[in-house]
Structure 1
Amino acid sequence: MNRQFIEVDYCNSAQSYKWLWATVSFVQCILTYYVIADDLLLAPIYLVNLLLYFIGSAFYVIVLKKHTVFPSHVLLMSAAIAIVLWLIMAHTVTLLWRDDHATEKVLLLGFFSMLMCFNGSRFMLITCTVPIMIMHVYYQLTYVEQSGMSLLVSTVKYPFFVIAMITTQVNHNTRLVASHQKLVALNKELTVLRNLDDLTGIYNRRAFDEKLKYLLELQNRNKQSVSLMLIDVDFFKRYNDSLGHLQGDKCLREVAKALNDAVKRETDVVARVGGEEFGIILPNTNLDDCQLVARKVINTLRDKMILHPNSSVSSYVTASIGCACIQGSITTSEVIYHRADSALYRAKEQGRNRYCI
C-alpha cells in the first residue's frame, strides 16, 4: 500500500530550513522568557517544553538528511506525542499545585508551541490551530468571563496568525518553485553544452558515443538497421601548416555545416569525434541508403569550395569516408566503429576523396 506524504516545503532548501529553525527557536526562547517572568508556576513547564523542542529539532535534522518529505504518519505521530506530553504536564500542574487555571494555560501554550513547530505543513498548521481556538474560548468563558465582542476579537487573532503564516509559506514556496525552474533550465543548458563541441557547435565525442550505444541497444531489441559513417578531412595537417590554425578552425566549422546540410532527419547524429575526424549515425538506414548519404556528403563539401593549397587530390577541401551498417544482428559500438574505421582506412589507401564500405 502506498503511503501518503506531506511535504515539508522548507526541506527543499537547507539554507531556508536553517533560517526557519533559527526564527522558530528565537520565538520559543522569547516565549519561555516571558512565561518565566510572568508566571513562576509555568516556568518549569515551559523550560521542559523548550528542551523537548530542541530535542525534536535534532530528530528533524537527522531525518532531513535522508528525506526531502516526511511521511504523514511521522508527522501525526509527532503531534500525538506532543499532545500527550502537554496533557501529562497539565495534569501534573493540577495535582501538584492544585491550580485549575494553570491547566488551560499549559495546554494553550502547548498547542501554540506545536503550531510553531509544524508551520511547514498547512495540514498540521490548521490541525493545531483548532484546539488552540477551542481552548482559548473555553478558558476565556470559564475563568476570565470574557464574552461578546471582546471574546470575538481575542479569538480571531489565531486565524489571522495562521493566514499570515500560510501567506508567508506560499510566498516562500513561490520563490522555491521559481528557483527550481531556474535550476532545471540551467541544468538543461549545461547538459546541452556538455554534449556540444566548442569549435563546431555539433555533438562532441562524448555525446556521439552515448547516442551510438543507445541506438545499437535499440537496434538489438527491434532488429532495426543502424549505419555509421566516419569522415576524415583529407590532408588537414597540410592545410593547417600552410594557412594557420585560425583558418583551420574556420575550415572545420565549414565542414561541420556541410555534414549538417547533407543529413536532413532529426534522428541522424552528426558529431566531431576527433581533430579533423567527424562521425554520422544513421538510424533505420541500410547500407545502400548510407552510400547515398556518403555521396551527398562528398558533393556538399565540394560545393562549399573551400580552397586547399596543399591537397594532393583537389584544389578544394575534400574528405574520405568509411561506411558500416549493422542490420538484424546483435553487436556493440566497438564492432561497428571498427568496421567503419577499416572502411575509412581503405578509402584513404585508394586515393582519398571517396567513400568505402
Structure 2
Amino acid sequence: MQILVVDDSALVRDLVTSIVVGAGYPQPLPAKDAREAKAHIKRSVVDLILMDISLPGVDGLQLTRQIRRNLKDDYWIPIIFLTVKDDPDYLAAAIDAGGDDYLVKPVNQVVLLAKVHAMSRISKMKAALDETNLQLSRLTQIDALTNVINRRGFDESLEHTWRLYRRNNQELCLLFLDIDDFKTYNDNYGHPQGDRCLRQVSELFKSCLRSDSDILARYGGEEFVIVLPNTTLRAAEKLAQKILHRLAQEQIEHQHSHVAPYITTSIGISTTRDGATTAQKLLSQADRSLYKAKSNGRSQICCYEDIGQSAETEL
C-alpha cells in the first residue's frame, strides 16, 4: 500500500516513515504542503494519506475537501488526520471535511499501525467490490446472443472513442453492417436457426478485426457496427472487403436470399474526414452509406465520401 505523509515537520515525516517502513510497508511519499501532496496524487497511485491538519497555506481540511472534490467517485483514498488538538468539535470538523480517522500527536506507533492496518483492509475490500461492480457493468453491455458489445455498450464506447479522436486528432472510421435479406432467412429457416446464424456471423466479423482497439457491437436485430480508431478510410475499406470475402468463403446457406445462395452483408463506411462534428453525426453518415449500399443491390460497400454531397442535399 502506497502511503502519502503530509506534514510540514520533517521530524514528523521521518518518524511516520520509520514506523510504516518498519512494519513492512513501502517507503512513503513525503509532502510538506498541499502543493507537494497534490503533485504526488496526480502522478502516483496513492492508497492512504496521513495528513497534518495544520499545514502552511492550504491547511489539511481545505486540502481534503479539494481531494474529495477533484478525484473521481470510484477513486477513494482513505485519509487519517494527524493533529495536536484533541478537541471533539475540531475532530468532528475534520471528519466532516472528508477525513476518515484521526490520530493525536505525538504519534503512538501501536495506534498508528493499527489504524493503517484497518484502512488497508477497508481499501482491499473496496478494491474487490469495485472489481465486482466493473464485471457486472461489463455484463450489462454484452449482447447475450452474440457475446459482442450491445447497443448500450456501443453508445458508451463510441462516445469514449470520439473524445480520444478529438484529443489526438487521428482519423476515426465507422462501419455499419446489415445482413442482407435476414427477414426471409428467419421466415424460412426459423428463428432458432436465425439466432445460430447471427452468432456465426458475429464470430466471423470479430475474426476480421485487426486489434483490441477495434470495436464490434450488435446495433440491433441483424445490424452490426465496427468502430475503427486511428484508421484511414482506405484501411477501413480493406477491412470491409475482407468481411465480404470471408462471407463468400464461409458460404452460410441462404437459399431464399435475393442476392446470393449464402449469407451476405451490406456495409456503409464513414470517416471523420467527411466533416462529422459529433459521434452521432459520424454514425448517421455510415447509416446513410449503408442505405445506399443496399439500394445499389446489397452485398457491397459504400463510402460516405462517394455520396456525401447528394446525402447532404437530401438532409
Report TM bin, short chain. 0.5 to 0.7
Q: d(CA) in 1 for partners of 2:189 and 2:278?
A: 40
Shift in Å at residue 262 of structure 1?
1.1
Shift in Å at residue 231 of structure 1?
0.2
Aligned AA for 1:274?
G
**Could you tell me which residue of structure 1 aligns to residue 82 of structure 2?**
72
Q: Which has the larger radius of gyration?
A: 1
Unmatched 5+ stretches in structure 2: 1-32, 38-48, 52-76, 92-99, 304-315
Shift in Å at residue 337 of structure 1?
1.3
Q: d(CA) in 1 for partners of 2:90 and 2:163?
A: 54
Q: d(CA) in 2 for partners of 1:308 and 1:328?
A: 35
Aligned AA for 2:183?
K
1:71-107, CA deviations, whole angstroms, 9 ceiling, x for partnerless residues? 434x73427989xxxxxxxxxxxxxxxxxxxxxxxxx
**Could you tell me which residue of structure 2 aligns to residue 261 of structure 1?**
207
Q: d(CA) in 2 for partners of 1:336 and 1:80?
A: 57
**Could you tell me which residue of structure 1 aligns to residue 179 of structure 2?**
233
**Could you tell me which residue of structure 2 aligns to residue 191 of structure 1?**
137
**Could you tell me which residue of structure 2 aligns to residue 278 of structure 1?**
224
With the length of structure 1 as denominator, give the TM-score of the two structures. 0.55
% identical equivalent positions: 34
* Counterparts in 2 of 1:77 and 1:327: CA distance versus 1, 3 Å: farther
Say what the alpha-carbon RMSD is for the aligned residues.
3.3
2:159 aligned with 1:213:
yes
Report matched runs for 1:342-353 at 5 Å: 342-353=288-299
Work out which of the residue numbers 240, 245, 250 in structure 2 matches 1:304: 250
Q: d(CA) in 1 for partners of 2:294 and 2:169?
A: 32
2:193 aligned with 1:247:
yes
Q: Given that residues 286 and 327 in structure 1 are in contact (C-alpha distance below 8 angstroms), is that contact kept between their aligned partners in structure 2?
A: no
The structure with the largest helix share of the pair is 1
Shift in Å at residue 176 of structure 1?
2.9
1:312-350, CA deviations, whole angstroms, 9 ceiling, x for partnerless residues? 111111111111111285611122112111111111111
Q: d(CA) in 1 for partners of 2:159 and 2:267?
A: 21
Aligned AA for 2:235?
D
Q: Given that residues 6 and 121 in structure 1 are in contact (C-alpha distance below 8 angstroms), is that contact kept between their aligned partners in structure 2?
A: no
Q: d(CA) in 1 for partners of 2:103 and 2:241?
A: 67
Aligned AA for 2:87?
S
**Could you tell me which residue of structure 1 aligns to residue 128 of structure 2?**
182
With the length of structure 2 as denominator, give the TM-score of the two structures. 0.62
**Could you tell me which residue of structure 1 aligns to residue 241 of structure 2?**
295
Q: Secondary structure at the match of 1:248?
A: helix
Q: d(CA) in 2 for partners of 1:222 and 1:207?
A: 22
Q: Secondary structure at the match of 2:213?
A: coil
* Counterparts in 2 of 1:78 and 1:237: CA distance versus 1, 3 Å: same
Shift in Å at residue 253 of structure 1?
0.9
Shift in Å at residue 258 of structure 1?
0.9
**Could you tell me which residue of structure 2 aligns to residue 222 of structure 1?**
168
Aligned AA for 2:223?
E
Unmatched 5+ stretches in structure 1: 8-66, 83-119, 130-158
Q: d(CA) in 1 for partners of 2:276 and 2:122?
A: 47
Shift in Å at residue 270 of structure 1?
0.8
**Could you tell me which residue of structure 2 aligns to residue 318 of structure 1?**
264
Q: Secondary structure at the match of 1:351?
A: coil
**Could you tell me which residue of structure 1 aligns to residue 282 of structure 2?**
336
Aligned AA for 1:78?
D
Q: Given that residues 196 and 202 in structure 1 are in contact (C-alpha distance below 8 angstroms), is that contact kept between their aligned partners in structure 2?
A: yes
Shift in Å at residue 186 of structure 1?
0.3
